[in-house]
Amino acid sequence: MTHAGDAVARLVRDEGTRVLATLVRVTGSVDLAEDAVQDAVVRALETWPRDGVPDNPRGWLLVAARRRAVDVVRREAKRLGKEADAMPAFDPFPDPVSVRDDLLRLVFTCCHPALSLDAQVALALRTLGGLSTLEVARALLVPEATMAKRLTRAKQKIATAHIPYRVPSSEELPSRLAGVASTVYLIFNEGYTGRESLLVEGVRLARLLASLMPDEPTALGLLALVLLQDARRAARFSSGEPVLLADQDRSAWDFALIKEGVELVGTGLRRTPSTPNAYVVQAAIAACHDLSPSYSETNWDAVISWYDVLLSIQDTPVVRLNRAAAVAERDGPAAGLALVDALPGLDDYPWWHASRAELLHRLGSPAAFEALERAVETGLPGPHATRLRARVNSPSSR
């Protein structure tokens, strides 16, 4: 695909989420809206590179998707010998507030407590994040076939249980928060590996959530976490390849975002004096990195201590993997590798293999090459695989 074609594809993907959110409201069906938007996206990718991008891309996609949805409804009604239900009219050029509200409705529809937490996160990643079923499966560490079934069941339950497409009342919000926060962070995290549009979407949704629930430590901690990580965006990639935290130009970091994030961490900690909040603690870890003048001056004792706090409320293999990386920085690669090798259940997780490859490389072990290949096989994103391959193929270094 040409550079112009890549730009069109990114535009279509970015607008697709907003179009889907509006069309779910119009059609009342996640399934129908998804199919109609996918059809409109295919048409856009076929025609826009040839004919030029329309003045209002979102309006074009909305109109095309609605036409497709109307055709499907009429065809299905004819097959069943019924009258086609009239589909509500809509504004093909919605204002930003309407788009924001449609996205919030879609977030909370996907994260309804009638669905399991796993199903909530999976469905929202698929619809809001625009991830493929395979990408969702990898993000959530399950086989693709299992994820396909989970998504199908979730959409069926929304339809059969008549789950409403709306932002809940204030008393309902707390019961939805866990699923919404997990979803927003996973969208951001997927973007953090190189898909900038998802990263921007994650930050935007985190801000919306904090504005909706300004007293909730989870919402504050989530926003702090994504801001403190997003602050490093300008320094994270060079010529399309990821730059390790140790090698980043810290003068390129966004210190306004760091200040905002640190203040939010302080507020979150004051609101959780006795019971730690997972997002606030993760944000505190990010703040340790962002406030260090240089990588060599990172307070690894503080980072590891915060990981210990996090493990007291969220003891997962991935948290232990991240803690092991910090231990490797403080105590050396052998200490870190021992912790990494002891972790269960991560054989299909690319970052586990990538961590092993990095630490084995530092130890000068030829086993780093095998670990690198397993990282690639299990789905390590291309830019990160390129960087890691270059390191493993170079003389042993830190």
Give pLDDT tens digits along the chain (398 positions): 454 566 777 777 777 777 888 888 878 778 888 889 889 988 988 888 888 888 888 888 888 988 898 888 888 777 776 655 555 555 555 555 555 667 777 877 888 888 887 888 888 878 876 678 888 888 777 889 999 999 999 888 888 888 877 777 777 777 778 888 888 888 888 777 767 777 887 898 899 888 878 889 999 999 999 999 999 999 988 877 788 899 999 999 999 999 999 999 999 999 998 999 999 999 999 999 999 999 999 999 999 999 999 999 999 999 999 999 999 999 999 999 999 999 998 999 999 999 999 999 999 999 999 999 999 999 898 888 988 999 898 875 55
Per residue in 321-359, pLDDT tens? Answer: 999 999 999 999 999 999 999 999 899 999 999 999 999
Instruction: Find the domain containing 186 and state its range.
Output: 97-162+173-213
Q: Are residues 4 and 45 in the same domain?
A: yes
CA distances from 182 to 15, 174, 200, 350 (A): 22, 13, 16, 20
Task: Answer with the one of 286, 315, 344 that is the final residue of a domain.
Answer: 315
Q: Are residues 209 and 115 in the same domain?
A: yes
Q: How far apart are CA 127 and CA 355, in angstroms?
A: 30
Q: How far apart are the first and last CA of the chain?
A: 38
For residue 346, is it within any domain?
yes
Give the residue ranges of DSSP H helices in 213-299.
217-230, 233-236, 255-270, 278-290
pLDDT in the model for residue 225: 98
For residue 320, is it within any domain?
no
For residue 57, is it within any domain?
yes
Q: Are residues 114 and 198 in the same domain?
A: yes
Give the residue ranges of DSSP H helices in the chain.
3-27, 30-51, 57-80, 96-110, 117-127, 133-139, 144-160, 173-192, 196-212, 217-230, 233-236, 255-270, 278-290, 300-313, 317-331, 333-341, 350-362, 367-377, 382-392
Task: Answer with the one of 45, 65, 94 that is the final residue of a domain.
Answer: 94
Q: Are residues 209 and 103 in the same domain?
A: yes
Q: How far apart are CA 125 and CA 115, in angstroms?
A: 14
> What's the domain count of the chain?
4
- The number of CA neighbours under 13 Å toward the Cβ of 360 is 20
Per residue in 178-195, pLDDT tens? Answer: 888 888 888 888 777 767
Task: Find tokens 């890549």 and name the residue.
Answer: 6
pLDDT in the model for residue 1: 47
Q: CA torsion, points 289, 292, 295, 301, in degrees to nearest 10?
A: -70
**Mean pLDDT of all residues belonging to the chain:** 86
Q: Are residues 110 and 125 in the same domain?
A: yes
Q: Are residues 112 and 78 in the same domain?
A: no
For residue 327, is it within any domain?
no
Q: Are residues 101 and 144 in the same domain?
A: yes
Q: Are residues 74 and 122 in the same domain?
A: no
For residue 220, is it within any domain?
no
Other beta carbons less than 10 A from residue 378's beta carbon: 18
Q: Are residues 125 and 189 in the same domain?
A: yes
pLDDT in the model for residue 248: 95
pLDDT in the model for residue 86: 56
Q: Are residues 346 and 393 in the same domain?
A: yes
Q: Are residues 101 and 204 in the same domain?
A: yes
